[in-house]
Structure 1
Amino acid sequence: MNDVLIIGGSFAGLAAALQLGRARRKVTVLDTGLPRNRFANHSHGLLGHDHKPPLEILAEARQQLARYPTVRLVTTRAESISGAINDFSVLTGDGESLKARRLILSYGVADQMPEVPGFAEGWGTSIVPCPYCDGFEVAGRHWGLVWSGPPSHNYVRLYHDWTDTLTVFANGHDIPPDIRADLVRRGIPVVDGWITEIDHDESYNATVRLDAGPPVAVDILFAHPRNKPSAPLHESLGLATVDTPLGIALQVDERRETSMPGVYAAGDLANPLMASVTTASWQGAMAGIFAQQSMLV
């Protein structure tokens, strides 16, 4: 039996495995090899790995985990979960049945691309969600923001640290008059109408085409599509969730434990605030440590 079974082997899952491997706990990590940031050319903000391709960072992490004999990495999908603390069972896509005393769920979320031609093709390059991840590289240039609701007003204030040139695309949203007045005060134009297509060139440029009016070219387009968990495994366990402006996240306590004893969660799956490789790595490490400490006798 495994001490801990980790489902999801990106930044959070591997960070948890590292802590558990160093504690000489028997760990199996199941991973599909499809991290959320695989569309990005570079990952930013992770100390010691700034501006490196995310897949390269993960490959290096897996190589480092090879020195820990109690850690096993398996490329497969977890199909189902059952059981309770000290006796969890996981069936993999390869037909293997695994047992574990504890579970760490770190299988992340999947962004739900809108049905706008060019949006999915530009995701992670010319269309991005996070200024902390990509803002420095396009600082001082013309940014665009696809309005997605009340949080977008705060994004306008946030982006000012990177650029003074911002265009807001309402994209069918009814922006309240007081917020529109504030945007006027800040010198930020609002383009009404629905986005019908996004064209890209070889640089970071995106040309936004609308159902009415001329197209608008920007150097980078920020957007926040909704997301959902990459797998429904938490549903079979009946785990509590919290609603966020972009989707749902698993509810965890200060020790990263979910509503079911013995089940921990980390990374974007359990992060309702801000997704980044730094926070995912930190949360994964904490989940691994707290799972290990819960098994002390």
Structure 2
Amino acid sequence: MTFEAIVIGGSYAGLSAGLQLARARRKILMIDAGLRRNRFIGHSHGFLGQDGREPGQIVDEARRQLMAYPSVEWLAQSAIGVKIEAGGFIVSTQDERSFHGLRLILATGVVDELPGIPGLQERWGKQVFHCPYCHGYELNGGPIGVLAASPGAIHHAMMLPDWGPTTFFLNQVFEPDSEQLAGLAARGVLLEREAVIAIGGDTQINITLADGRVCKLAGVFTQPRTRMASPIAAALGCEFEEGPTGPFIKVDAMRETSVSGVFACGDASLAAGTVAIAVGEGARTGSAVHHSLIYRHAR
């Protein structure tokens, strides 16, 4: 059987892309390993109409709606390889099956690589976050920490005073220049240059410094590095571009990669890790793939 499009990744972007194609009555296969990037958080925020819902509930409902379309098939597996052949692609899965598709959508996402500070990993998505728009409001105006993991930490530090009094833990990773120091001062941000050696706490979060002091906070924001969650884009020869947190798949205005017939959406191709943006980018990509199928004989 030949599918008109195979979508690798069934989280927010992949589901949204698939929905556009399903509504265009195209035969599609969704392949998903079930590892959402935001599986560590309890509630999702900032997505219109879904604000405050559990992420798993949003995905489950979206999948139920998508699978109501008879042209969609779902495979709960990991895609492990793709071969380019005349007229399309052969996708192989971990259970040793192969599927043929005319178009390929990579909604494979990224993996967050967190600073190696004891206590941080287990609090990721609970008391330690990356997106102020997603999690800042729920800290209820309490004291907030920004843990520097890259020079991009300055943007967190400038933003977060809108959600609560902010302390910028430079952690010997980053030193603001004179202009940045003036901006931070104008925003009322406190600077802490002592190294962070541990993170603890249950309902609140405690940052232990090298000199023994403990700072009690409502929440902490940091900047994880990201890497591709799947090797498929690289194996296909897709071009990448360097984003603020790591490499991302390079796409054009129609969301097509440098490899003809391969499209990408979501966190794998855009440095903006929110549900709302992923859904929007998925919709754009699904529509673009539909257009490419219409005009495929002219390519």
Q: Same fold (TM over 0.5)?
A: yes
Q: Does structure 2 retain, via aligned residues, the 8 Å contact 1:86–1:262?
A: no
* Cα deviation, residue 188, structure 1: 2.0
Establish whether residue 206 from structure 1 lines up as the match of residue 205 from structure 2. Answer: yes
Deviation digits for residues 146-177 of structure 1 (CA, Å, limit 9, x no counterpart): 123332222222223222x1011111124134
Q: Does structure 1 retain, via aligned residues, the 8 Å contact 2:158–2:183?
A: no
Partner of 2:289: 291
Counterparts of 2:140 and 2:83, CA distance in 1: 48
Partner of 1:88: 89
Counterparts of 1:228 and 1:149, CA distance in 2: 15
RMSD: 1.5
Q: Which amino acid aligns with 2:118?
A: P
* Cα deviation, residue 245, structure 1: 2.0
What is the TM-score normalised by the length of structure 2? 0.94
Partner of 1:121: 122
Instruction: Compare 29-38 and 185-194 and name the one that shifted more.
Output: 185-194
Establish whether residue 148 from structure 1 lines up as the match of residue 113 from structure 2. Answer: no
Q: Which amino acid aligns with 1:98?
A: F
Partner of 1:275: 273
Q: Secondary structure at the match of 1:37?
A: coil
Partner of 1:167: 167
Partner of 1:100: 101
How many residues were matched structurally?
A: 293
Partner of 2:244: 245
Q: Does structure 2 retain, via aligned residues, the 8 Å contact 1:112–1:225?
A: yes
Counterparts of 2:150 and 2:116, CA distance in 1: 18
Instruction: Compare 211-220 and 71-80 and name the one that shifted more.
Output: 211-220
Q: Which amino acid aligns with 1:144?
A: G
Unaligned runs of 5+ in 1: none
Partner of 2:47: 46
* Cα deviation, residue 257, structure 1: 0.6
Q: Does structure 1 retain, via aligned residues, the 8 Å contact 2:148–2:169?
A: yes
Q: Which amino acid aligns with 1:134?
A: H
Counterparts of 2:182 and 2:47, CA distance in 1: 38
Counterparts of 1:92 and 1:276, CA distance in 2: 28
* Cα deviation, residue 189, structure 1: 1.8
Q: Secondary structure at the match of 1:294?
A: helix
* Cα deviation, residue 194, structure 1: 2.4
Partner of 2:255: 256
Q: Which amino acid aligns with 1:196?
A: I
Q: Does structure 1 retain, via aligned residues, the 8 Å contact 2:88–2:261?
A: no
Counterparts of 1:147 and 1:113, CA distance in 2: 11
Partner of 2:77: 76
Q: Secondary structure at the match of 2:211?
A: coil
Q: Secondary structure at the match of 1:41?
A: coil
What is the TM-score normalised by the length of structure 1? 0.94
CA 1:109–1:290 in structure 2 vs 1: closer, same or farther (change >3 Å)? Answer: same
Q: Does structure 2 retain, via aligned residues, the 8 Å contact 1:126–1:200?
A: no
Matches within 5 A, 1:186-225: 186-201=187-202, 203=203, 205-225=204-224
* Cα deviation, residue 192, structure 1: 1.6
Q: Does structure 1 retain, via aligned residues, the 8 Å contact 2:238–2:249?
A: yes
Runs of 4+ with >4 A deviation: none
Instruction: Compare 152-161 and 5-14 and name the one that shifted more.
Output: 152-161
Q: Does structure 2 retain, via aligned residues, the 8 Å contact 1:41–1:125?
A: yes
* Cα deviation, residue 217, structure 1: 1.1
Instruction: Compare 133-142 and 224-233 and name the one that shifted more.
Output: 133-142
Q: Which amino acid aligns with 2:211?
A: A
Q: Does structure 1 retain, via aligned residues, the 8 Å contact 2:161–2:188?
A: no
Identical aligned residues as a percent: 37
Counterparts of 2:86 and 2:157, CA distance in 1: 45
Counterparts of 1:23 and 1:258, CA distance in 2: 22
Partner of 2:5: 4
Q: Which amino acid aligns with 2:274?
A: S
* Cα deviation, residue 84, structure 1: 4.9
Q: Which amino acid aligns with 2:255?
A: R
Q: Does structure 2 retain, via aligned residues, the 8 Å contact 1:85–1:262?
A: no
Unaligned runs of 5+ in 2: none
Q: Which amino acid aligns with 1:249?
A: F
